[in-house]
């Protein structure tokens, strides 16, 4: 599998499938390129080129001690796009990957990007502040981070059922849930904590205000990781031209539980 090197010497892994108009998939916090296994075959079969990045500290990429902020994530994404000289891109970003995609557009412009899809993204700003009262109190986030650091495997295992909203009837096998927890645990523990904190403290509202390209926002009403009232619905208001979809029975893991519906919605967005 190919690698490329960014400015600080970090080697990043990526995957490249198919031919045609390029789609660049930006993975969630702690997940890597493998999370898109229900999307890539579908879009390759529909004539698209699918490019997937393992961000630093994730998957097969190097695990440096720095670079887990949104600016570096956006710059690493830009380096991949320039390395492959991709143009006419559709960015497809899940969860914290949405912040990197939004920051990429504000830092590097949309010259190479035609459209962007935010899936269960943690936009626009998670932290509660005086001008962002809808956010989450910092003390709550720090307590959550302390639990994560104390027993990382338990933290992910305890949240797995809610991640897929299995209580709403989503059919996810115990084996698949265990597999996804292992995939989350494959990320560097240092990167896991550093990115968790950075994503919480980063205000992406200015980035969203500058998005003028076609945008798709998809969010699950039952999302426990990125509550829709804090994230998806507010993102829709900040990007009023966006195509917006809510999935009533979806949690954060909608790329698995609602893969068929999600793929169809993204394909319709690509063709619109």
Neighbours of 265 (CB within 10 A): 18
58, 94, 219, 252: the active-site residue? 252
Q: How far is CA 196 from CA 189, 247, 248, in A?
A: 11, 25, 26
28, 61, 95, 106: the active-site residue? 95
d(CA 155, CA 196): 13
Closest-CA residue to 15 (of 43, 53, 46, 45): 53
Verify cis geometry, omega within 30 degrees of 0, for the bond prior to 97.
no
d(CA 11, CA 5): 4
Answer yes or no: are the C-beta atoms of 252 and 226 closer than 8 Å: yes
Residue 186: both structure tokens together? 């494959």
54, 75, 76, 223: the active-site residue? 223
Q: How far, in whole angstroms, is CA 60 from its chain's centroid?
A: 17
Q: How far is CA 81 from CA 187, 208, 223, in A?
A: 23, 21, 30
| 76 belongs to the catalytic site | no
Closest-CA residue to 240 (of 211, 206, 220): 211
Answer yes or no: are the C-beta atoms of 69 and 56 closer than 8 Å: no
Answer yes or no: are the C-beta atoms of 89 and 83 closer than 8 Å: no
| 131 belongs to the catalytic site | no
Closest-CA residue to 215 (of 118, 111, 103): 118
| 252 belongs to the catalytic site | yes
d(CA 26, CA 272): 22
Catalytic residue numbers, as ranges: 95, 223, 252
């Amino acid at each position: 599998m190919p690698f490329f090197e960014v400015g600080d010497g970090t080697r990043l892994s990526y995957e490249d499938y198919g031919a045609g108009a390029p789609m660049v998939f930006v993975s969630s916090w702690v997940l890597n390129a493998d999370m898109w296994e229900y999307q890539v075959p579908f879009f390759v079969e529909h004539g698209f080129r699918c490019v997937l990045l393992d961000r630093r500290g994730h998957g097969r990429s190097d695990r440096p001690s720095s670079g887990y902020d949104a600016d570096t994530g956006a710059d690493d994404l830009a380096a991949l796009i320039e390395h492959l000289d991709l143009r006419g891109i559709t960015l497809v970003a899940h969860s914290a990957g949405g912040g990197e995609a939004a920051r990429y557009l504000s830092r590097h412009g949309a010259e190479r990007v035609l459209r962007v899809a935010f899936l269960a993204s943690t936009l626009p700003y998670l932290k509660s502040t005086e001008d962002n009262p809808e956010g989450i109190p910092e003390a709550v986030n720090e307590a959550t981070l302390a639990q994560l650091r104390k027993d990382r495997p338990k933290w992910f295992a305890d949240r797995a059922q809610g991640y897929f909203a299995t209580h709403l009837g989503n059919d996810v096998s115990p084996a698949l849930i265990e597999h996804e927890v292992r995939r989350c645990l494959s990320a560097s523990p240092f990167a896991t904590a550093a990115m968790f904190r950075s994503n919480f403290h980063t205000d992406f509202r200015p980035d969203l205000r500058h998005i003028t390209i076609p945008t798709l926002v998809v969010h699950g009403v039952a999302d426990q990781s990125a509550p829709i009232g804090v994230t998806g619905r507010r993102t829709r208001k900040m990007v009023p031209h966006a195509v917006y979809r809510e999935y009533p029975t979806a949690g954060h893991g909608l790329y698995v539980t609602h893969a068929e519906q999600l793929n169809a919605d993204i394909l319709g967005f690509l063709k619109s």
